[in-house]
Each structure stands twice: as structure tokens, then as C-alpha cells.
Amino acid sequence: MALTVRLQKRYGAFQLDVDFSAAGGQVLALLGASGSGKSVTLRCIAGIERPDRGRVTLDGRVLFDSERGINLPPQRRQVGCLFQQYALFPNMTVEQNIAVCLGRLERTRRRARTAELVSMLRLEGAEKLLPAQLSGGQQQRTALARILASEPEAILLDEPFAALDSHLKWQLEPELREALEPFNGPVIWVSHDRGEIYRNCKTVCVLDRGTSAPVASLRELMTNPMTVSAARISGCKNYVPVCPGEEAGWVCIPDWGLTLRAAAPWRKGVTTLGISAGCVRPARGETVNVFPCRAVRVTEDVSAMLVTLRPETAAPGAPLLHMELRKERWTVLPEREHIQISVRPEDLLLLE
């Protein structure tokens, strides 16, 4: 039961151009910076907005095809949407909110299916309550029960926890994950939270200024991003222009006055070197990629020290280097102003 999306839509100077697929039972993360087109993509899939061109299919059914003039209305697409605001009917009880999506069934079957969904989403005891009387978790589970009542073939999650505080989010996230486990259709999950995506998704499609990258495994994105946009999403903090060194296997960083060894081969299109802050470390006997830096700012975080460094060979105005170091490693350093820094060749990211 695959969802295949290939569409284009223009908003003034902004051009959305996405092309990806999600298989049945797969939770695909749709990631990108604010304004990259994630929510617009979901609205186009759901039929809330009409693309300019393209084709969207779900389990072989054509939901949209610009060439053939097909554009099914949202109620015929069998796509369930869970947005930040759960959009429950405020004057209906929990069971009424669920049953409203079961109107096609005769009364006895509608009651039985409502009770089944109440049990599945652990809403027993809340059936007669109005949305305002529910906890955040109960509201979310009611919204999901209503989606499942409509028997969707795909589910779209648009920042489902963005409006919640961190404590409530930590309570609701495993509940949502558990509720989705029996669903065998594709799920598209949009979020800005890297940890949330890492815990719940296995594959990812990155949108960069409206254009989608090929679908990749989440592990690949986190360990080996290929573009600056993907590296930012993976949590990389350091970026500096780079060019190939005179010898194979080496890269030149003119802004820092450094030439470093890289494990990845140089490839066409690379413009930027990325280094995760956690991969920058004080040298301890290494002989490759060791260079002196001066600490210009030190900030204490909950469990780590965030250190901003300036390579001593850097040109004025060059990008600074950020290091994230466990507190116990920072406190034992004999010198904390002038520090010999080491970066492993495999931790140098060559980015397009």
C-alpha cells in the first residue's frame, strides 16, 4: 500500500518540487527548515490544496493527476491528517467525535466500532467527556481514533507535538507510537525535533527550499549527510568553505589556513566542510588533523561544555569552530585557553 508523491506548486517566488514514495507500514519523516514546504506538501497530499502539476497515488488509486484532470476531494482520498490542533468538535463527546466518521455504518455496527476504537486508544471512562474536559493525551488519542474510524489508507502527522510543553510531549509521544503500530498503511511524519524523528521513523526525505532529496535511511542521514541542508537537520554545527587539497585524500580550508585528511573521497559539487560539534575534541596523542585553537567563549550546558574556538591560523572573520565536550573531560584539561584540537578523518563531512 504505497503512497507515491510527485508534485509541483508555486507560491510567488517559492517553488515546491517534491518526489518521494512511502511503503505500507513505513513511517517516513519529512524534514526541512521552516518554509521548506513540508506542511504544503501534506496539504496537497490530503487534497486541501491543489498542486500546479504532478501526480499522487495511494495503493494504486490516483488521488491527483494534473495531466488527466483528476483531483479527488479530501473526503474521497482516504488520507487521515493529525495536525497540531486536533480539530475535535467542541460540543461533541469523545464517542460522538469518533462516531461522526462512522455514519456510513448502521447503528449497531457504529456503536460496536466506536467502542472498539475507544478500547484500542485507551479512552475507557472518557467516552462521555467533551474535548475541553480531556487531557492533552486524551485529546490526541481521540483525534487519532477519529482518523482510524474513517479507515484511512495513509496517515499524515504535521508537527503533532509542536504546541505542547516538553513534559507532556514525552508522555504523548510513546502513546502515539503505540497507537500507530497496528496501522499497515504509510505514515508521513513532519517535525522539527531531530530526536522525535530519530525515535519514531526509519526513513527520511529532506526538503531544501522546496525541493526534495532522495529518500534515505535515518541512520544514513545522521551519520553521512551529503548536503548542507541534510547536515543541519542531523545536528551538525560547524560549516566552512572547502576545496580539494593538492594530494588525494586531503582537503584545503582556506578560511582556517588548514589542510586536513578526509576519509570520504572528493566528489563533484562539494563546496562545504561540515564537522559535528561532538566530533571536535582535545588532541590526545593523535598525529593527523591536529591544529591549535584559542577558546573565545565557554558555555556550561546541562551535561556538557559548549566551547567556541578560533583556529590560530584562521583569517579574520573566518567561521568559528564549535566543540561540545563532556564536563569531566573539560575540567581535566591542563590548558583551557590555547587547545590542541583533533578531528578524525571520518568525521569530516564533504557537503554539497
Phi, psi of 296, rounded to the nearest 5 degrees: -105, -15
d(CA 270, CA 220): 18
Residue 75: per-residue pLDDT: 87
Residue 306: per-residue pLDDT: 96
d(CA 46, CA 79): 6
Residue 137: per-residue pLDDT: 78
Residue 163: per-residue pLDDT: 62
Secondary structure (DSSP) of 96-135: HHHHGGGTTS-HHHHHHHHHHHHHHTT-TT-TT--GGGS-
Residue 164: per-residue pLDDT: 66
Residues (pLDDT < 70) of the chain are: 84-85, 163-165
pLDDT (tens digit per residue) in 8-58: 999 888 999 999 999 999 999 999 888 889 999 999 999 999 999 999 999
Could you tell me the three cell numbers for 235?
545536528
Contact at 8 Å (CB) between 267 and 327? no
**Count of CA atoms in the C-beta half-sphere (13 A) of 272:** 18
Residue 223: per-residue pLDDT: 84
